[in-house]
Amino acid sequence: MIIPPITSQYLNLIKNSSFGAAIAYPEIVAVFMGSALVATGQAIEIIAITLGIYLTIGLAVSVFMNWYNARHKLVAR
């Protein structure tokens, strides 16, 4: 019963937290939004790649938690 709310909280942490961007993903932001943007000058493509990485992380957490929820669901009597 607790797994779906935990899934929502994990996804909220990934998507909405500046804490996560400051601690967990600074290398993604620094590499793609910093050095790659300066080197190539293609802002739209660099932003799309960065957004794709965040989307992939979010989808991976969602798929894993859905699998975990299906594996540990309660059996109705």
pLDDT tens-digit readout, 24-56: 666 666 766 677 777 877 778 877 877 787 788
Would you list the domain boundaries of the chain? Answer: 3-71
Is 69's pLDDT higher than 80?
yes
Query: Looking at the whole model, is its pTM more than 0.75?
Result: no
> Rg of the Cα trace of the chain?
17
| pLDDT confidence bin for 4, thresholds 50/70/90 | confident
Q: Decide if 68 contacts 4 (C-beta within 8 A).
A: no
Q: Which two tokens stand for residue 39?
A: 């080197």
